[in-house]
Each structure stands twice: as structure tokens, then as C-alpha cells.
Amino acid sequence: MASDMPKWEPDGGLHFRTLATSGRARRGRFVTAHGVVETPHFMPVGTQATVKCVLPDQVAATGAQVVLANTYHMGILDRTQIVERLGGLHSMMRWNQSILTDSGGFQVFSLPERKITEEGVSFQFRSGRKDSDTTPMTLSPESAMDIQRRLGADIVMAFDECVDHRMPPKYMAESLDRTFRWLKRCKAVEIQPHQHLFGIIQGGMELELRSKAVRQVTSLNLPGYAIGGVSVGEGHDAMVRVVRHTAPLMPDDQVRYLMGVGLPEDLVAAVECGMDIFDCIIPTRYAREGTVFTWDGKMRLQDKTYRKDRYPIDTACECPTCSGGFSRAYLRHLLFADEPLYGTLATLHNLHFYQDLMRAMRQAIEDDRLSSWAESFRARHLKGREVSGGKR
């Protein structure tokens, strides 16, 4: 495969290449100014320019080749200026691989009080320690792109409206057209030569609107495209229905990004549908809250079962937590003692598990056996949902 390695050139393209297929699933590769990305790929979320609890080198050691930061969180107060002063996100974070920045749309539209106009979205953000310490702000396609340009990420997302999937179809259709107008304004903003703008396909649970959105967004010939507005409470089956319909309509020669997904079973289903890259806070947030992932399902370390359990999370796992011999009983103790070390050890394990999952899927696609692999995975991972104590 080394001969198939695409070369990065400053011509505005990601040079995505499909290396193998298995059903609809794609094993691919693309290159940014900061390195190669093997797909399918999971991108850990570093909302405020950090993946919580772990060092950048530790994140890289899991196999992650892209991390995320968020435009909303990095665009409030004087944070963008601080990033610029420190040489951009890559320099500030000490992360020398690729970075993707979300546009902030999801965060803004989750705020309780906001005003949506053709210009953008006006809202109040908390600027002090008290709930009453708020500052007005308007985020528009132009300002979202300007923030992302200054942050310096490799992949920048268009400003869009992430609509609640329960909204009426009429509002969905109106929002879709407005998001497309915003996308055209995003494209008109000059970004750095190494940056790539991705458009976002919305439409809620309405498949006809999803089809329309694909036609609209792909008409602008962007370097990559994302499916947004899923994993927002609609459930696994509804998410799969939307992705299974939408993914085949997306260009074969561009990166396909599924935003905010998700649980291991969500990732497997989405890869089967033909998606390439993913992000979600689940592995890191679940870790901090006491849940770790294994091939046999989720393990809730709060459970009394693990109070005296001397085994690591997974005896076959090679992450620093498991290979280092840290026991389930010790992790449970750290969790209940509210010791910061717990967050580091649990997060490292979950990040390793997610990258192991993606590596396994890449290999299964290369071997043209993803369907049977996925069936076996689901039978094992979902059979009991939660793992009991003892050696496996």
C-alpha cells in the first residue's frame, strides 16, 4: 500500500483515495498538511483545545491522527487571540497531526435562548463565574469562518443550523435552504492555503430533505462533506436509516464525515453504510463518569462487582492502563475517591479501544469481510451490554 500513498500538495485538495471496499464500506486514506489519515477513522474530541485528562503524546499513541476543537468555545472571550499569539492550535496544543474544528453551530443551537436570522445566530454566553455574567454574541457564517481561519485547523466546518429532529418538516425545509445560503457565504470567505472547508448535510429524519441537501451541498465542489443532525436523540435505528440513505448519494472521491457519532455499535453501522471519519465525546466523557468499553460490552466501574476485582479492564488490551496492571478495583477506588488519575487511566483505555475498533474495521474491509466481522462484533459486544467481574 505504500505506493498508493497520496502526496500532499498546496492545491486545495485532500487527495482522498479509496484503497479497498467491502459492501458499501470504504477503506481509504487522505492527507492534510499535517499528515496522513487512515480511514475509517475516529477523531477524539478536544473541545477547548485539549482532550480531557490526557497528554497529546498519549492521544497520538492510541493511533489517533486527527483531533477536534470547537469554534464556539475557542471563539468566546479572548481565546482566539490567545491561540494566534501562541502560533495556532497545532503549536498551542503541541499536536503535530491534523486538527478539525467544528463551526460551533451545534453548541449555539443547543443554547436555550437564541435568535436565528438570515445574518446568523445571536445569543448570550456565560462570561463569568455567575450565571448572570453573560455577554451577547452573534455567530455568522463569516465570523465562524474567520475564527476557524485564525485557529489554523486543517479541516474547517461550514456554519449550519443543527435542527431538532422533532421540528416540523416545513421548518426543516426552510432551515435547509438557509443553511445552504450560509454555506455559500462560508465558501466566499478566504481561509488559509492548508485549510479545507467541509459542507454539512442536514434534513433531520426527512429522507427527501436529506437528498435535497446532498444535491445542494455537493454542487459547490468542496473537499469533503459531513452528515449532521444525527445522534441528537433520535436513536440508533433512525440514525442508521438516515445514514444508509444519505451516504451512497455523497461523492465517491471525497471524504465522508459523520458528525457526533458515537457508541461502538453506531460506528460499526455507519462504516457499513460507507462513512469515513467520526467524532464523539462518548469515549472520554463515559470514561470520566465511570464507564469503560470492552469487546464484550460496557463495564460500569461503579458496580460493586469490581470492588475487589484484581484484573485489568481487559486482560487482552495493550493500552497503558491494562498492560500496566492497573486493576478494576483500583480504578473503582480512584473513581470514588475523585482522584484525577482515574480520569487519565480510564480515558486512555477508552481511546485505545476506539482506535483498536477502527483498526479492526480497516483490516476487515481490506479482507472484504466487514459484514461477517460486524455480525460477530454485534453478537459479542451487545450480548450482555455490561460486563461482569472476573477474568475473560
pLDDT > 70 fraction of the chain, expressed in percent and rounded: 92
Q: Is 271 in the same domain as 292? A: no
User: Are 201 and 186 members of one domain?
Assistant: yes
Same domain, 62 and 108: yes
Examine the pLDDT at 64 and tell me if it is beyond 60: yes
Lowest mean pLDDT among 118-122, 165-169, 257-261, 373-377: 165-169
Q: pLDDT tens digit string along 299-347? A: 999 999 999 999 999 999 999 999 999 999 999 999 999 999 999 999 9
Are 268 and 316 members of one domain? no
Looking at the structure, do residues 26 and 83 belong to the same domain, yes or no? yes
Q: What pLDDT score was predicted for residue 126? A: 72
Neighbouring C-alpha atoms within 13 Å toward the C-beta of 275: 31
Number of domains within the chain:
2
Dist. CA 208–CA 82, nearest whole Å: 43
Identify the burial level of 136 via C-beta atoms within 10 angstroms of its C-beta, where 0-12 means exposed, 13-18 middle and 19 or more buried.
exposed
* Residue closest to 270 by CA, chosen among 246, 293, 294: 246
Residue 77 lies inside a defined structural domain of this protein: yes
In a shared domain, residues 240 and 363? no
Is 392 part of a structural domain of the chain? no
The pLDDT of residue 1 is 41
Tens-digit pLDDT profile for residues 204-225: 999 999 999 999 999 999 999 9
pLDDT exceeds 70 at position 290: yes
Indicate whether 386 belongs to any domain.
Answer: no
Nearest to 106 by CA among 146, 158, 162, 147: 162
| Confidence check: pLDDT of 373 > 70 | yes
Read off the pLDDT band of 8 (50, 70, 90): very low
Peptide bond into 193 cis (omega under 30): no
CA nearest to 263, candidates 385, 171, 151, 376? 385
What is the per-residue pLDDT for 70? 93
CATH of the domain at 170: 3.20.20.105
Choose the weakest-confidence range: 60-69, 72-81, 122-131.
Answer: 122-131
How far does CA 363 lie from the centroid of its chain?
21
Contacts of 75 (CB under 8 A, 6+ apart): 104, 139, 143, 144, 147
388 assigned to some structural domain? no
Q: pLDDT tens, 93-127?
A: 999 999 999 988 777 767 777 889 999 998 887 77
The three-state secondary structure class of 20 is strand
pLDDT at 385: 58
Quick one: 72 and 143 in the same domain? yes
pLDDT at 159 over 70: yes
387 pLDDT band (50/70/90 cuts)?
Answer: low
Virtual torsion, Cα 128, 130, 131, 134, nearest 10 deg = -30
Measured torsion, CA atoms of residues 107, 112, 115, 116, in degrees rounded to the nearest 10: 50
Rg of the chain, C-alpha, whole Å: 21
Banded pLDDT at 11 (limits 50, 70, 90): low
pLDDT at residue 6, as a whole number: 52
User: What is the spatial distance between Cα 279 and Cα 231, in angstroms, rounded to a whole number?
Assistant: 11
| Mean of all residue pLDDT scores within the chain | 92
Residue 391 lies in a domain: no
Is the separation of the CB atoms in 353 and 294 below 8 Å? Answer: yes
Residue 355 and residue 361: Cα distance in Å, rounded?
10
Concerning whether 279 is annotated as a catalytic residue, the answer is yes
Gap between the terminal Cα atoms of the chain:
35
- pLDDT of 2 over the 60 cut: no
Q: Are residues 251 and 311 in the same domain?
A: no
**Active-site residue, from 266, 276, 279, 314:** 279
Q: Give the residue-averaged pLDDT of 4-10.
A: 51
Domain co-membership, 268 together with 322: no
Please check whether residue 96 lies inside any domain of the structure.
yes
Q: With the C-alpha atoms ordered 251, 257, 259, 260, is the resulting torsion angle positive or negative?
A: positive
Q: Which among 231, 262, 280 is the end of a domain?
A: 280
Tens-place pLDDT, residues 230-250:
988 889 999 999 999 999 999
- Is residue 202 within 8 Å of residue 229, measured between CB atoms? yes
Backbone angles phi, psi at 213, to 5 degrees: -65, -40
pLDDT band per the 50, 70, 90 thresholds, residue 198: very high
161 in a structural domain: yes
| pLDDT value of position 392 | 40
274 and 313 housed in the same domain:
no
Among 125-139, 172-186, 208-222, 336-350, the range scoring the smallest mean pLDDT is 125-139
Extract the C-alpha cell encoding 343.
480520569
**Does 389 map to a domain?**
no
User: Of 280, 311, 338, which residue constitutes the final position of a domain?
Assistant: 280
Residues 84 and 224 in one domain: yes
Domain containing 351: what range? 287-381
Last residue of a domain, one of 253, 280, 307: 280
State whether 304 and 160 are in the same domain: no
Amino acid letter, 240: V
Count the helices and strands in the chain (H runs, E runs).
15, 16
